[in-house]
Chain A
Amino acid sequence: MKAPRVWSWIALTLGLLYFFLPLIGTIEFSLRKRRGEYSLDAYRWVFEDPKFRETFSYSVVMALFTIVVGVLIVVPTAYWVRLKFPRLRPLVEFVTLLPLVIPPIVIVFGYIRLYNTSSFLPLTGTASGTNLLLMMGYATLSLPYMYRAVDTGLRTIDVRTLTEAAQSLGANWPTIIGRVIMPNVLVAVMSGAFLTFAIVIGEFVMAALLNRPAFGPYLQLIGANRAYEPAALAVIAFSITWICMGLIQLATLLTRHSRPPRS
C-alpha cells in the first residue's frame, strides 16, 4: 500500500470516530436506565410521557405550516427575481441571509414589542395569534436554506424560455408557477422543506420566549430534570433528522424526469 493511501485511511477513520463516538456514547447511555443491563426503559418513559406527544405533534404541525408558507413565499419570489430582476439577485440573497446574522432572540423580542396586547395588531393576545407569530418566525429562520435550495433548483431549468413557452400556450401566472416551475424545482423544494422541518423541531429560543408548547422547550426541560431520558430524546431527534435526509434522497430518486440524460 502506498503512503498517501495510508494517510487517507487514517483521516477517514479519525473523521468517522469523531462523528460516531458521541453518537454511540449517547445511544449506549440512553439504554442504561435499568441497572446492570441494557433496556429501552428511557425510550418507554419518553413515549409514555403525554408531554412528549403533545409537544412533538405541536412542533410537527408547526413545521408543516412553516414549510407551506415558506414555499409559497420563496418559490414565487426566487422565480420572479430570476425572471424579471436578475440584477437584484445578490441583494435578495443577502436579505435571505440576514436570519443567520440576526439572533432569533432579537427577532422574537422585536415581535413581542410590535405585536403585544397593546399594539395595533395584538397577536400575542391569543394562542392562535402567537402560533401565527411563531410560524412566521420559523419561516424567517428557514429562509436562508429554503431560498438557496429553491434558487439552485431554478438554475437547473431555463426559467425564461419555459415561462415564455407556457405563456404562448395560453398559461397565466398561477398556471405557470403551479404546473411548470413548481414541479421542476420540487426536489429542491423538498430538500428545503426537510431542512425547515429539522430546524423547527429543534428550535428553542422563539418557542420558549413566546411560551408555546413546542418540542424544543420540552427537550430543555427534560434535559434539566432527568438523567437517561435526554439521551433517548437526543437519539430520537437525531433519527428524525436522518429520516429527513433519507427522504430527500428518496424524493430525488423517485422523480423520473430529473435523471441525468443518457450519454
Chain B
Amino acid sequence: MSFLEIEHLEKSFGSVRVVKDFNLPIEKGEFVSLLGPSGCGKTTVLRMVAGFETPSTGSIRIDGRDVVSLRPNQRNIGMVFQSYALFPNLTVAQNVAFGLKVKGVKVADRTARVAEMLRLIGLEGYDDRYPFQLSGGQQQRVALARALAVQPQVLLLDEPLSALDAKIRVSLREEIRDIQRRLAITTIFVTHDQEEALSISDRVVVMNGGVAEQVGQPFEIYNRPSTRFVAEFVGTLNLIEARVLDRDSGRIGIGSREASLGRPLTSDRLTLGIRPEALTLGRAADRDMVLEGRIDDVHFLGSVIRIQATVAGERVMLDTFNRPGTPPPAPGQAAEFSVHPEDLLVLEGERSP
C-alpha cells in the first residue's frame, strides 16, 4: 500500500463535476506533478488533500489513515500557494516559526529549527526582514521553509512558480526539487506548465476535464502518450493527417507518399503525431519513412536550428542540431523529411480543434 492513497475521488460544485473518479497512489518521498490546462481540477484535487474542500465521494489516506474527516489543521500537510501567502505582519523568522509556535515547540528548539530552515533555502541573515522587503522568489522560498518547518507528512504546492519571472522560475524549481530530494518528502506539485512538470517530477499526472488521463514517468508521458489529449498537451507535436490504405498491414498514405506502420490499424483515417526532434531534414539511414514538403522559415538558434515547413498541407516544426559543415536550408525550398516509423505517435479518432 502506498503512503498517500487517493481513491475514486470526486468533487461536484452544485451540479458541475469538476473532479471525476480520480485515483492516485503516491509512494513515500515521491514527487508527483498534476499537469493540465487551467480549470481542469488540479487545484481542487490539491485542496481536497489539504482539507480545504470536502470530497463528494472517495477516500484520501495518508500513511494508512483516512484523512477525509480531519480538518486542515489536523492533517499535518504543508501547503505552498501561488501568491506566497506570507503573513505580512511577521518577519521572515516569525513566519517560518509560525507552525512551530502553534504546535507549542519550545523557544530554543524553534530558533534552531528556523535557522536550519533558512539555511536550507539559502536565506540566512534574512530573519528580521518583512515579506514586503523580499523579492517574489525569496518570498516563495520563505513560504516553502514555513511549510517544511513543521515536518509535514505531505507537501502540496499549487503553481508556486507561476507568479515569478521566467529565469527565477527555472532556478527555483530546481531548488524545490533539490530540497524535496534531500528531505525525501512526499510531494504533489500542481502546474499548467508541461516543461516544469516533465523536468522535476518522478511521475506526472496529466489531467483534463477533471479526469486523470495518464499517470506515468515524464519519459513515458512524453514518448508514449496514451490519449490524444496527452500527446497534444505535453510537448510540441506536429500533426499530419493520413489515409489508411490497408488496415491489416498498416499501410498508409500521406500526401503523395505511401508508408507502412508495420502494425494493424482499426480506423480509416488517423493522425500522425511527430515530435520536432523525430523529424529529420533529408533522408537518413534508419529513418525509412519519407515525406515531402516545403521549407517555410528557418530560425538559427545556435546549437539548434528550428525549421518551419509544410508537409502534406500541415504546418510542422522540426529541430536539427547545428553542424559547422552544413549551412541551414533556405526558406521556400522544396525538401524531403524522414522519420522512423517507431517514432510516430498514431492518434486514432477525431482531431481536437
Contacts and interface: CB of A to CB of B under 8 A. Distances in A.
A169 B98 contact: yes
B233 to A, nearest CB: 28
Nearest to B81: A161
A162 B132 CA distance: 15
B108 interface: no
Interface stretch (B72-80, B174-182, B269-277): B72-80
B141 to A, nearest CB: 15
Chain A: interface secondary structure? helix
For this complex, into which size category does the number of interface residues on chain A fall? 20 to 34
A183 B89 contact: yes
Given A164-B52, A164-B81, A257-B132, A171 B73 contact: yes
Nearest to B82: A161
Interface in B82-123: 83, 85-90, 98-99, 102-103
B83 A158 contact: yes
Contacts of A165: 79, 81, 85-87, 143, 146
A257 B73 contact: no
A171 B85 contact: no
A168 B83 contact: no
Given A161-B85, A164-B85, A170 B150 contact: yes
A162 B102 CA distance: 15
Contacts of A158: 83, 85
Contacts, number: 78
Contacts of B71: 167
A180 B131 CA distance: 14
Contacts of B318: none
A172 interface: yes
B50 interface: yes
A170 B81 CA distance: 16
A261 B85 contact: no
A157 interface: yes
A171 B102 contact: yes
B234 interface: no
A5 interface: no
B345 interface: no
Given A158-B85, A184-B88, A168 B72 contact: yes
Interface in A151-191: 157-158, 161-162, 164-172, 175, 179-180, 183-184, 186
20 contacts: A158-B85, A161-B85, A162-B85, A162-B87, A164-B79, A164-B85, A165-B85, A165-B146, A166-B98, A168-B147, A169-B73, A169-B146, A170-B74, A170-B103, A171-B98, A184-B87, A257-B88, A261-B132, A261-B133, A262-B132
The 10 closest A-B pairs by CB, nearest first: A169-B99, A168-B79, A165-B85, A167-B72, A183-B89, A161-B85, A261-B132, A170-B102, A257-B130, A167-B73
Interface of B: 50-52, 71-79, 81, 83, 85-90, 98-99, 102-103, 130-133, 143, 146-147, 150
Given A165-B86, A168-B73, 19 more contacts: A157-B88, A158-B83, A161-B81, A164-B50, A164-B85, A167-B71, A168-B50, A168-B72, A168-B75, A168-B147, A169-B73, A169-B99, A169-B147, A170-B73, A171-B102, A172-B73, A184-B88, A256-B130, A257-B131
Interface of A: 157-158, 161-162, 164-172, 175, 179-180, 183-184, 186, 255-262
